[in-house]
Amino acid sequence: MASQRPSDYQEGLVLVVDDDVKWRESVALTLKRLGCTTVEAETVDEAIFSARTLRPAAIITDVAMMGNEGWMLLRVLSADPLTHTIPVIVTTALPEVMDILAAGAQAVLSKPVPDDELAGALKRVGACNHRFVVAVDEDPQALDMYERMLAPQGYHVVRCSSAKRMEAVVENTEPDLVLVNWMTLLSSGREIERTDLPIVGVAPHPLSPRVRAELRQKLTISLIPGDGTRPSFRVHLGAALRAATLTERPPSRREPRDTLPP
């Protein structure tokens, strides 16, 4: 069960603890891309001091560092009234997941940790306020376009070049929205099983009435034209994002609004 965040925490600040400097730098780089700021600690004493004084929104650490000192850090953080409400995410190669959770961690990620898994864990413990969009398209230029459009609006875009990759990413990040090229999805023969996520379909080519009707049954937000050179694409995408942001996630699929012209 996740801890309640401290009332005086510093939003977006993450304490990264590890005796491996290259790992700390790698995690810090990922956090920077997510819009977080970081402070690093190499030892348990440094970590405890920083946690008590800086009040980070989350702590990322390994239990296997410096022998067993990582385990001691978990116990100290959990027992200290000043730090026990700070969520701790453990990144480790050890298999003792249940033991780590019992020692006070809110999440356990296996090293090496993909960026989307780390981003999802931070979001789940409330340490990252970025909105996440999973963008699915076989065309890297289309993914580039989505990033150019969405990043300035505060969205973190998780890129997926295949529907298979999308399935894992959706489970790891719990995104605010899925933006998917339906030709990529249909050619894969896969379905989006989740019914509680806003799904925006992109139709890169004119669709037949039959295909349009089939796709409308799979969407929770809209179906928009996918030609990025058309000004209407930006307008439709903006409307879909606003609808996803302002609408609570449904327990089941809502009737979508088809924004493609008839």
85 and 153 inside one domain: no
96 and 120 inside one domain: yes
Tokens of 256: 């979508």
43 and 101 inside one domain: yes
Q: Which of 73, 94, 124 is the last residue of a domain?
A: 124
Q: Is residue 150 part of a domain?
A: yes
Q: Is residue 91 part of a domain?
A: yes
Q: Is residue 3 part of a domain?
A: no
**Looking at per-residue confidence, does 253 or 226 come out higher?**
226
Q: What is the pLDDT of residue 202?
A: 83
81 and 49 inside one domain: yes
The count of structural domains within the chain is 2
Q: Is residue 170 part of a domain?
A: yes
- Using DSSP bridges, classify how beta strands 56-61 and 10-17 pair: parallel, antiparallel or unpaired: parallel
Q: Tell me: the pLDDT tens digits for 57-93?
A: 999 998 887 767 888 999 999 999 999 999 999 988 8
93 and 143 inside one domain: no
Identify the top-confidence range among 21-25, 148-152, 239-243: 21-25
Give the Å distances, CA to CA, from 252 to 4, 193, 198.
29, 11, 11
Is the bond preceding residue 261 a cis peptide, omega within 30 degrees?
Answer: no
Supply the CATH number for residue 151's domain.
3.40.50.2300
Mean pLDDT confidence for 92-111: 88
181 and 155 inside one domain: yes
Q: Which residues contact 116 (CB under 8 A, 6 or more apart)?
A: 158, 169, 172, 173
Q: What is the pLDDT of residue 48?
A: 94
> Residue 155 is part of which domain span?
131-258
Tokens of 19: 């005796």
DSSP state of 95: S
Least trusted range by pLDDT, from 22-26, 51-55, 237-241, 247-251: 247-251
Q: Which residues contact 258 (CB under 8 A, 6 or more apart)?
A: 212, 216, 222, 223
94 and 138 inside one domain: no
Percent of the chain exceeding pLDDT 90 equals 18
